[in-house]
Amino acid sequence: MKNYDVYGIGNALVDTEYEIDEEFLDHAKVPKGIMTLIEEDDRQRLIHLLEEEHEHLVVKQAGGGSAANTMVIISQLGGAAFYSCKVANDKTGDFFVKDLKAAGIDTNLSEDREPGATGHCISMVTPDAERTMTTCLGITNFLSPKELNPDAIRNSAKLYIEGYLVSSATGFEAALEAQSIARVNNVEVSLTLSDPAMIENFKSNYELLFSQGIDLLFCNHDEARLLTGADSVEDCARTLKEICRTFVITCGKSGSLTFAGKEVTRADGIATQAVYTTGAGDIFAGAFLHSLCQGQGFTEAAQLANRSASLLVSSFGARLSQDEVDTNLK
């Protein structure tokens, strides 16, 4: 009997969310719809532009990070999750640790943490509900194999690797080490591509992960196109069959395509008015993984995942509340 359903590894970030207009992105020279890595000076400049020059207010501040969001929904649905990450010994790091504990997630974190600055993600949401993110990784840029808990990996049914780790030398080393531990111990390895910009800039790192064996891949259509070089979602699926054992391609309101090893099937999306899309892929992956851990197949997993993501995008925020999960998803 495994202690954990899913062991996740990723960049620990505190998310600060703003509602903006299209013109602000042009003024700030921030490319729309993707995640851009920035340094501390650029982060301070952007906050000044948002809050001082344009008077945009913080809508919400919460614990974040892609894989952390995924672990939270797994825990909310009743699963057992472990999360490895790196935060500093600062107030932001204290906030992050307390947030994970409140969600019932076990971690590698302790009171004795290194000095520095905890990672910070600024999410800017335009009226079309699309998110544009700038991330200052801070100390999470130095996530390394020493943040791993090999015993917890061995005692997990599945490993979940956040694709953003490919952008950091030590983070990528940690991802490879976690993958190696999982493979030796028959722990299924799942990977999310995370963001088109990651594929454009670090494709060779993804290729190395695939060469070591990926049991389940999560990606959206844009990411699948960049990874495979194909265009239509059907052509992307044909290529993905050759590089991973199973996969899911999310297609927004059109639902998702899944491949469980035999044939590609489509799960219809759920009609909803999208208010905010931040975290939808994270929530989808978590609900999907939880469903698999409960012994359900890809069809049932995709249905729960589509419902979960649809519920998330219908309101503002990158995570669901426990009440929302209990009322709508259980």
The pLDDT of residue 297 is above 70: yes
The structure tokens listed for 204 are 């060779």
pLDDT greater than 80 at residue 276: no
With a cut of 70, say whether residue 25 has pLDDT above it.
Answer: yes
Contact 278, 125 (CB under 8 A): yes
Whether the pLDDT of residue 77 is over 80: the answer is yes
Give the CA distances from residue 280 to residues 34, 36, 121, 291, in Å, rounded to whole numbers and listed in that order. Answer: 14, 18, 16, 17
Contacts of residue 327, Cβ cutoff 8 Å, sequence gap at least 6? none
β-pairing, 119-125 vs 13-19, is parallel
Q: Which residues does residue 48 pair with via DSSP β-bridges, in sequence order?
A: none
pLDDT for position 1: 83
- Nearest Cα neighbor of 117 from 98, 95, 84, 147 is 95
For 170-211, write each residue's pLDDT tens digit.
999 999 999 999 999 999 999 999 999 999 999 999 999 999
- CA Rg, the chain, in Å? 18
Q: Answer yes or no: is pLDDT of 292 > 90.
A: yes
Q: How far is CA 184 from CA 7, 8, 180, 197, 206, in A?
A: 15, 17, 6, 31, 20
Pairing outcome for strands 58-64 and 13-19: antiparallel
Residue whose token pair is 């978590």: 286
pLDDT band at 165 (very low <50, low <70, confident <90, very high): very high
Average pLDDT over residues 286-304: 97
Task: Specify the pLDDT at position 188.
Answer: 98
Give the residue from 250, 287, 293 showing the smallest Cα distance to 158: 293
Angle at which helix 221-228 crosses helix 196-212, to 10 degrees, equals 60
As to burial, measured by CB atoms within 10 angstroms (0-12 exposed, 13-18 middle, 19+ buried), residue 286 is buried
pLDDT score of 37 more than 90 = no
Instruction: Read off the pLDDT band of 128 (50, 70, 90).
Output: confident
Domains of the chain by residue range: 4-11+69-90+101-109+142-328
Q: Averaged over 235-254, what is the pLDDT?
A: 94
The pLDDT assigned to 60 comes to 78
CB atoms closer than 10 angstroms to residue 32: 13
Terminal CA-to-CA distance of the chain, rounded, Å?
24
The CATH architecture to which 4-11+69-90+101-109+142-328 belongs is 3-Layer(aba) Sandwich (3.40)
Q: Which of 5-19, 123-137, 246-260 has the lowest mean pLDDT?
A: 123-137
pLDDT at 130 over 70: yes
The closest of 198, 201, 197, 150 to 174, measured between CA atoms, is 150
Q: Would you say 258 and 227 are in contact if contact means Cβ atoms under 8 Å apart?
A: no
pLDDT of residue 150: 98
